[in-house]
Amino acid sequence: MVNRPPQPPVVVQSNVRELRLAAGLSQQSAAERFDLSLRVWQTKEAAGNPALLSQGEYELLLLLAGRHPHYILTPQNKK
């Protein structure tokens, strides 16, 4: 394993709806993916306040949407 300097943290932004749509998720499926009620997800998406999404939630949403600046998701090779 190669030691690399840590990547700078991704700044949480308010583009939650855009990322959800890019990931191909409905509000209901996004709520289920993040283990939230539909109402809580709708609040996070509509708020326009990036602080409502945790760092981890935002980075996972970036990964699902294929827009993370440092990482990509790849299919797992099943043996």
Provide the pLDDT confidence category of residue 14 given band limits of 50, 70 and 90. Answer: confident
* pLDDT value at 28 more than 90: yes
Supply the pLDDT for residue 27. 96
Supply the pLDDT for residue 19. 95
Domain ranges of the chain: 16-65
Q: The pTM is what? A: 0.83
Q: Cα separation of 12 and 10, whole Å? A: 6
For 21-55, b/e burial (b = at least 16 CB within 10 A) is: eebebebeebbebbeeeeeebbebbeeeeeebbee
